[in-house]
A and B are shown apart, each in its own frame.
Chain A
């Protein structure tokens, strides 16, 4: 048995030049990037008035607030909160439904396999993009200006902002559909509307239903937020209780939101499974 020879560094260097003499740009790229990331971070901390003293004072305050939150206690306003929670769920369901109903016909115009002309498709797509680019809270503020404070403004805000998001998702689902069934309908003499109704919709409806359920789920969260600017629901109560420093009620409301979101998650995952299962059976 003989020992393994020690490799000769000079021979290795000759054989793998790219390992030993990497260009300076390749060697410096990673440290330079990390340095840049760190530099912007430090600049941000300075520019945004971060100071250790403020941080410590704030954390102490936060700890005190957390202590004040225990135990969660609704006081005597439990019925009000339950009603507000119902309002939030209503906002989510109604807003998403209105958005879906409005987005379905328009999304057909944005799908490549329904409308081949770029001239129609392009503006419709940019329209969806622009609507999505504006945050839900901003839409809520606009609608409050129009229909006044209250949950109705919340419904309309969710409907408008989800119209953009669902329109994009629907048109993508339609573009992913199989061409053969549409061609089959056309071959048997069907009109364009027949093609859409009997060739496209049976394929995309289960996908769309799944997406709508998912959006109802995520809108339960969003609907709590838009209450903060005055559009009704449990967010309104939450913002009020935070402003008057009723911390026990705040923690109770947060718990209520967490439980409601978990419940909706559970129901919608069951429903989604049922819908997809039905498609597998058909």
Chain B
């Protein structure tokens, strides 16, 4: 029986297999070298981060049993057998959660307003002057790269302890993040309406208002809702540095080993974040149609 695959004559085949093997060896060598380099980086990183596997294995049991402990009440019973005892501070915690939501709401709105004012200056196609664009862009970059909680630390020093510092920190960080996203939306906008408005003798402000804004407003709203989701998470830890919200309670509970409180607050935070995610997803679906829902 003859083979269905036709074989090439010997010398021709040898040359081809040879080339194939060489290509294979080259590729393997490259992968090997990259892997070795990566291992070296990892080893250096292990020393840099003071990795101590002995501590890790000694205390890993603690990590697992930590979850066992936070799910136990003081009298040793499981938390879900006595819900009222588990959520004994529900009233206070819900108030703090409300404060957290308000912090992220007010912060997001302030950040949106600032980003809205700045983004037309930062976008390539609408900026009135190159030097202005450069300056605004660097400013937004700075606001976005410095983490929100660092701003919060500094603002706590300036404005005193309390939610005000958290709101301003979130507002500033959101300005940076949203300003960049907004200006990208503007850069994707169609410029022909702008020319149309310009040709009627309108100034810069009215051409932004009547030509660009109608095209970009939906994109803005969508990004703002997304930012709100992110800011709810961020606001939940602002309390760690004294900038208001539920984070303060959580920090105290973790530091003072009030185990069942830790799990109760964590459950509340996670549920709130889920609900906000679902809520904004629903709102996006309502506002911009099904395809915008993520």
Contacts and interface: CB of A to CB of B under 8 A. Distances in A.
Interface residues of B, number: 58
Nearest to B271: A133
Interface in A89-139: 89-91, 93-94, 97, 129-130, 133-135, 137-138
A204 interface: no
Interface stretch (B2-10, B44-52, B71-79, B192-200): B44-52
Interface stretch (A7-15, A16-24, A149-157, A183-191): A149-157
A258 B49 contact: no
Contact of B158 (A45, A58, A143, A229): A58
Contacts of A245: 157
Could you say which of A48, A57, A86, A245 has the most chain B C-beta atoms within 10 Å of its C-beta? A48
Contacts of A232: 49-50
A156 B154 CA distance: 27
Contact of B55 (A58, A152, A228): A152
A166 interface: no
Interface stretch (A36-44, A173-181, A192-200): A36-44
Secondary structure call for the B interface: helix
A65 B149 contact: no
Nearest to B51: A152
Interface string A223-236: 01100110010010
A235 to B, nearest CB: 8
A44 B106 contact: yes
Interface string A203-241: 000000000000000000110110011001001001100
Q: Which 3 A-B pairs have the closest CB atoms?
A: A90-B48, A58-B159, A90-B45
25 contacts: A48-B164, A49-B163, A54-B164, A55-B159, A58-B164, A61-B157, A62-B159, A86-B48, A87-B49, A90-B45, A90-B46, A94-B51, A130-B270, A134-B266, A134-B269, A137-B149, A141-B251, A151-B50, A152-B51, A155-B51, A221-B147, A225-B150, A229-B240, A245-B157, A258-B145
Interface of B: 27, 41-42, 44-52, 55-56, 59-60, 62-63, 66, 99, 102-103, 105-106, 109, 142, 145-147, 149-150, 153-155, 157-160, 162-164, 167, 233, 236-237, 240-241, 244, 250-251, 254-255, 257, 266, 269-270, 273-274
